[in-house]
Structure 1
């Protein structure tokens, strides 16, 4: 047998193995990218509701899904770290803190958008979310109800009861 025959045998034996490994590699890369896209879409969709469970979960998944060895993805992780540090800080007044929080969050989303191939500018990210006032009002009412119920259950507040249709026998 000559060299061409040996190369043919090698190609026939290794070709399917290489094809399967390449397919698996491409599928893994696609899955990794899809997980990053899900994080980005969740954060974009909930950017007006930064206290929602899905928003917080998406933030906490950044460290898991973005690669510190990739230059652009490392910028996302660094932006997340800076945002995370601010979220745990209480060194400034609430107006300054909230303004800085929005700026850092927009920066984080902008870096994620660049990595994932989305063409959003910072102004769009900051100003294009929709949050009806009724959602904020409902959340405030729910918070007040929970707080009031806890005060009753802890004995700090009594439930006022009146019977307007019963006439008093005392005169």
Structure 2
């Protein structure tokens, strides 16, 4: 047996193993990118609803899906840390806190989009959402209902009641009329 015969046998035996390893590597890479895209798409879709459960879950997955070892992803993690720090900041209040929160979220989504190959500008990220006013009204009403129920349950509120029909009242009215 010659050297070339041995090399052909070796290549024939090893080729399927190499093909399987390359396929696994590519599948893992695609799955990893898919998870990052899912985080990004969820945050983009819910950016007008920052207290929605899916938005919060996607934010909390950033640390899991993005790596400090890759420069573009490290930028995402750095921006996420700034946003997270602001979310817990109690020094700013009201509109100032809200405006800064929006700006930091836009910065986070912009950096994340760039790291994933999207080229959104910050203005379109900030203003390119549709959020019906009815959603805000429903959310406000639900918050108010929860507050009132809690006040009742904690004894801080009252439930107004008006009696309009007492039993036997209609019988007495008809006897007095007749």
**Do these two structures clear the TM 0.5 threshold for a shared fold by scoring above it?**
yes
Residue by residue over 1:88-107, the C-alpha shift from the partner in whole angstroms, topping out at 9 and shown as x without a partner, is 00112322211111111101
Aligned residue in 2 for 1:70: 70
With 48-57 and 4-13 compared, the bigger mean Cα shift is at 4-13
Aligned residue in 1 for 2:156: 156
What TM-score do the two structures reach when normalised by structure 1? 0.94
- In the alignment of these two chains, the number of paired residues is 168
Aligned residue in 1 for 2:61: 61
- Stretches (4+) displaced over 4 A: none
Report 1:86-105 matches (<5 A). 86-105=86-105
Residue segments in structure 1 that go unaligned for 5+ positions in a row: none
Report the Cα distance in structure 1 between the residues aligned to 2:67 and 2:89, rounded to whole angstroms: 26
Q: Which has the higher contact order (CA 8 A, sep 6+)?
A: 1
SS in 1 for 2:162: coil
Residue segments in structure 2 that go unaligned for 5+ positions in a row: 170-178
SS in 2 for 1:85: helix
Given the superposition, is the C-alpha separation of residues 93 and 150 from structure 1 closer, same or farther in structure 2, using an over 3 Å criterion? closer
RMSD between aligned residues: 1.3
How much does 1:10 deviate?
1.0
Report 1:118-129 matches (<5 A). 118-129=118-129
